[in-house]
Structure 1
Amino acid sequence: MAKKVWWISSAIIAGLAVAGVVTVGVVTQERYSELEHAPAFALAEAPERELLPAQAEGEVDNTALAARLRKLADTPDLGTFGARVTDAVSGEVVFEQNPLKALRPASSTKVLTSAAAIYTLEPTKVLSTEVVAGETPGTVVIRAAGDVWLTPENITELAEQVGTAERVLIDTSLWSGPTYLDSWDEGNVDGGYVAPMEPAMIHQGRIGADSGDVPRSHTPALDVAAALAREVGATDTGFGSAPAEAQLLASTDSPPLIHRVREMMVHSDNVMAEAIGREVALARGESPDFAGATRATLAALQEHSFDTINTSLQDNSGLSPQNLITPALLDALLLDAAQGSDLAEVLRTLPVAAGSGTLIERYEDLAGRGWVRAKTGTLTDTSALAGVVTSRSGRVYTFALLSNDAPILSQREALDTFASAIREN
């Protein structure tokens, strides 16, 4: 499959006041004003690389850092611990412990999902949800396109094009297989972590909110049909098939893929991750279900020479405790990104310590504040942190830290301290 190049315009680069590869881009939130930021990305000299991390002058002796990290890793707070830390400038592995051990990754799984999407899909790709005429007069059918980013404004846009109707059906045949994974906790829908995976949702199936871990709908696709029905005056809704040669009445587009991937990573949204996984599956000729999406994800990485040994995925979000990933694979993906490959976009999607997303309430008093940029992961007795950080010496490091079989709060504190130690080098 041809490699997709993610072009980043010079205007965007100029606006990205990112910290080497670790601080936030253009910062408008008041909360960010207190953060200390590192220097911006440097443009690469080689034409095939868009961005490179800040380059430190001269050689760096990582011996002392390695010794400190070994000491920090020797704690029961980390339980079963796997890690790899790499100097992104030289490519030297500074520290590793159980790098090839298969560990529960939780939401750090989304690093793989985002990488597969970048390799497979165009950054400007949108999903077009259409409404077509049904087989009987007065009936319209929503042809679901995998857009779980629908908003009330999208529904209004469709309604204005449709006008009036008596019956609204929704065709969800784009995706196949079960809508809910057996290994997912039954309480995850009401807990606000995921919704049954159907190819049309408003705000990822959230009930009464557009963000956050609020209860999700058990019938997200029917909710879309009901929302349109209210606006067009229809009194009947349900599932149905769109006629093959049906008249197109209305359409609305999702945000572009690049936006959707960023939102998925910053907020660690599980519905978005599963939807993007199915999008990758369809593009690669796999079945748009859990099994097909995870196969497609790993295949995309293997095609780009990443070693997926000991890696097993049941989903694309990391909700399944049966997912297994190695620290070596996570770090390899981040190292490739930090060295200026197509995956550089992954770095821009990562939450910033004490600044954004799932790290906004962490690192309040640690050296990594504003400098660590990483994907988090949390499940029962499972914590993950995988990202990049620039040290005080100006060196950029990538890291992948997976902790299993220990209490979550102590895991998080130990992981944040570990990443901050890299910053202090």
Structure 2
Amino acid sequence: MRSRASESGRAWPFALLAIVLVLTGSGVAAYSLGYLDRWVCDDGTCAAQDPEAAAVPDTPAAPVLRPALEAVTGTAGLDAAAVERAVGPLLSRKALGAHVGFAVADLTSGEQVWSSGTGTFVPASTLKIFTSLAAMTSIGAEHRFRTTVVRDTSTTGTPSTTGTPSATATATTAPAASPQRIVLVGGGDPYLTATSGEEARAAYPRRVSLAQLARQTATALRADGVTAVSLGYDASLFTGPAVNPQWESGYISSFVTTPVSALWVDQGADGWRRSATPDKQAAQVFARQLRARGITVDGVVAATKPTASEEIAAVSSGTVAQIVQSVIEHSDNQGAEVLLRHVALADGQPASFAGGVAAVEKVLTGLGVPWEGNRIYDGSGLARSNRVTLTSMLAAVSTATELFDRYPVAGFSGSLVTRFAVPGTEAGLGAVRAKTGTLTGVHGLAGTTVTADGTPVGFAVLTDRVPVARTTAARDTLSRIAARLTACACGTS
């Protein structure tokens, strides 16, 4: 009989081999996944380094999806009387206040079928549907906005360099080193961020950062022996007032929105407040990042892009389609106002509130959206003086087929993630896709759903005289209206 010691002695080489194979495999896996690269440093230290995202964010491949709204064969259309029976009683609920409007359209034909309520309404953030539709149409879904750094090539000042002076140079005869002039040029990226941290990489659309731009800039400067610069910043792409005169005075200080700028980082957030000068703040962040990379920055001043200049660094935003997705889904006021100005530029208008509104009107009326009666002052819907007709809102919803899969989904995403959670709203869960609108006393919901008998419909429900004490009840009632429409067998066949 073999002893246990003998068996143990024979087994240990195999155990050792297994351990070696496991460690080797783990090392190969770690190397192939890039984990070891995070600990490799140029200066020989072992400080962890996160990989930097690309200067142009990746656009994920579009999945192959079944259309979100697909008409059922044989459906003749909506029965107006059936729609009225389904949602009419909810429209008279006290929670909605004294001024309520509702309209519904059959998306298979595009025809408005039934409406209730008169006059015009404060749209609040449902106005972002107008802005987003105009942006997708006039700018283009795949367009990106570039933030750049240029250097002035019109001057011949001696750049500041490192190294030993030539033997012929003396302290009394050598020319004074002058910093090279560079300019940070804002391109209207609404989601430019300060650093490429995990949060920026995980965001949608993926953020590009000033840190990436600073790294490119420092590399280009050092390649030319430049170690000192003067820094200008150019936010002149947008014009007109940065704060809309129709907005309430507390919007900036209460973190509701930021003064609109073609150059900002993290949408002008500065700790727990909004920067009053987001372009200057961005330039100051950029200057610190250049200094951290060995470039001396001699002053930060407002400037314009030099006529004689060359681009030395650039980063590009996500696509317009991705930005629109975020604006619609999260009701992003800052992103909407930036898009408004880009719509103006695409139409040859001044990139201001007035120019953007004029361009949106031109684009939407060109798509067949009626405009008579509308009074619009911004792109986000923050202005309480905005007014829209139910007809124009419903027409925009029905026209904006490219937005159908970008709306929040009831109970699942964006501004609808916590909605449709009360009794009577179950039918709408996962079916209703709509943009919310909320100001004090103002509530709206506009989007799409599919009725119980398979008819895809567009709808808009707006109310702008809701007592503050009934705010929660008003939101829940809007959810019930959309759910009741979804549960309705309202087809005419």
With normalisation by structure 1, the TM-score equals 0.82
One-letter amino acid of the structure 2 residue matched with residue 374 of structure 1: A
Residue of structure 1 equivalent to 2:302: 239
The CA deviation at 1:364 is 1.6
Q: Is 1:111 the equivalent of 2:133?
A: no
Q: Is 1:55 the equivalent of 2:72?
A: yes
Residue of structure 2 equivalent to 1:162: 217
Written as runs of structure 1 = structure 2, the 5 A alignment for 1:37-48 is 40-41=66-67
The CA deviation at 1:138 is 3.2
Structure 1 distance, partners of 2:398, 2:70, is: 10
Q: Please identify, of 134-143 and 229-238, the stretch whose mean Cα deviation from structure 2 is larger.
A: 134-143
Residue of structure 2 equivalent to 1:12: 62
The CA deviation at 1:287 is 0.8
Q: Is 1:327 the equivalent of 2:345?
A: no
Q: Is this contact kept in 1: 2:145–2:316, CA < 8 A?
A: yes
Q: Deviations over 1:146-179 (max 9, x none)?
A: 1121122321221112115443221111111110
Q: Is 1:123 the equivalent of 2:149?
A: no
- Residue 115 to residue 60, structure 1, CA distance change in 2 (3 Å): closer
The CA deviation at 1:12 is 2.9
Residue of structure 1 equivalent to 2:162: none
- Residue 156 to residue 165, structure 1, CA distance change in 2 (3 Å): farther
Q: Is 1:283 the equivalent of 2:309?
A: no
Question: Whose Rg is larger?
Answer: 2
Classify the secondary structure of the residue corresponding to 1:150: coil
The CA deviation at 1:53 is 2.7
Q: Is this contact kept in 2: 1:384–1:401, CA < 8 A?
A: yes
Q: Deviations over 1:224-274 (max 9, x none)?
A: 101110111125323112211112221111111111111111111111101
Residue of structure 1 equivalent to 2:484: 421
Structure 2 distance, partners of 1:165, 1:97, is: 67
One-letter amino acid of the structure 2 residue matched with residue 150 of structure 1: L
Residue of structure 2 equivalent to 1:350: 407
Q: Is this contact kept in 2: 1:140–1:169, CA < 8 A?
A: yes
Classify the secondary structure of the residue corresponding to 1:371: coil
Q: Is 1:396 the equivalent of 2:422?
A: no
One-letter amino acid of the structure 1 residue matched with residue 465 of structure 2: D
Structure 1 distance, partners of 2:320, 2:241, is: 24
Match of 1:220 among 269, 274, 278: 278
- Residue 148 to residue 335, structure 1, CA distance change in 2 (3 Å): closer
One-letter amino acid of the structure 2 residue matched with residue 86 of structure 1: A
Classify the secondary structure of the residue corresponding to 1:309: coil
Structure 1 distance, partners of 2:240, 2:112, is: 41
Q: Is this contact kept in 1: 2:105–2:113, CA < 8 A?
A: yes
One-letter amino acid of the structure 2 residue matched with residue 141 of structure 1: V
Which consecutive unaligned segments of at least 5 residues does structure 1 have?
Answer: 1-8, 17-39, 43-51, 209-213, 337-342
The CA deviation at 1:90 is 4.3
Structure 2 distance, partners of 1:381, 1:216, is: 25
Q: Is 1:65 the equivalent of 2:83?
A: yes
Match of 1:376 among 436, 446, 454: 436
Match of 2:465 among 405, 408, 421: 405
Classify the secondary structure of the residue corresponding to 1:182: coil
The CA deviation at 1:371 is 1.1
Q: Is 1:88 the equivalent of 2:88?
A: no
One-letter amino acid of the structure 2 residue matched with residue 228 of structure 1: F
Residue of structure 1 equivalent to 2:421: 364
Classify the secondary structure of the residue corresponding to 1:406: coil
Classify the secondary structure of the residue corresponding to 1:188: coil
One-letter amino acid of the structure 2 residue matched with residue 280 of structure 1: V
In the alignment of these two chains, the number of paired residues is 371
The CA deviation at 1:400 is 0.7
Structure 2 distance, partners of 1:380, 1:218, is: 24
Q: Is this contact kept in 2: 1:168–1:228, CA < 8 A?
A: no
Q: Is this contact kept in 2: 1:56–1:393, CA < 8 A?
A: no
Match of 1:307 among 362, 365, 370: 370
Residue of structure 2 equivalent to 1:45: none
Q: CA RMSD in A?
A: 2.0
One-letter amino acid of the structure 1 residue matched with residue 140 of structure 2: E
Which consecutive unaligned segments of at least 5 residues does structure 2 have?
Answer: 1-58, 158-178, 197-208, 219-226, 292-296, 489-493
Q: Please identify, of 60-69 and 226-235, the stretch whose mean Cα deviation from structure 2 is larger.
A: 60-69
Structure 1 distance, partners of 2:394, 2:63, is: 24
Structure 1 distance, partners of 2:445, 2:301, is: 42
The CA deviation at 1:82 is 1.3
- Residue 314 to residue 92, structure 1, CA distance change in 2 (3 Å): closer
With normalisation by structure 2, the TM-score equals 0.72
Structure 1 distance, partners of 2:367, 2:133, is: 10
Q: Is this contact kept in 2: 1:229–1:235, CA < 8 A?
A: no
Structure 2 distance, partners of 1:318, 1:325, is: 11
Structure 2 distance, partners of 1:411, 1:215, is: 30
- Residue 165 to residue 371, structure 1, CA distance change in 2 (3 Å): farther
Classify the secondary structure of the residue corresponding to 1:247: strand
Structure 2 distance, partners of 1:189, 1:255, is: 26
Q: Is this contact kept in 2: 1:66–1:94, CA < 8 A?
A: no
Q: Is this contact kept in 1: 2:75–2:454, CA < 8 A?
A: no
Structure 2 distance, partners of 1:114, 1:277, is: 8
Written as runs of structure 1 = structure 2, the 5 A alignment for 1:173-184 is 173-184=236-247
Q: Is 1:144 the equivalent of 2:161?
A: no
Counting aligned pairs with the same residue, the percent is 31
Q: Is this contact kept in 2: 1:148–1:205, CA < 8 A?
A: no
Q: Deviations over 1:305-332 (max 9, x none)?
A: 2211111110010000011111111111
Structure 2 distance, partners of 1:385, 1:199, is: 30
- Residue 60 to residue 109, structure 1, CA distance change in 2 (3 Å): closer
Structure 2 distance, partners of 1:356, 1:192, is: 23
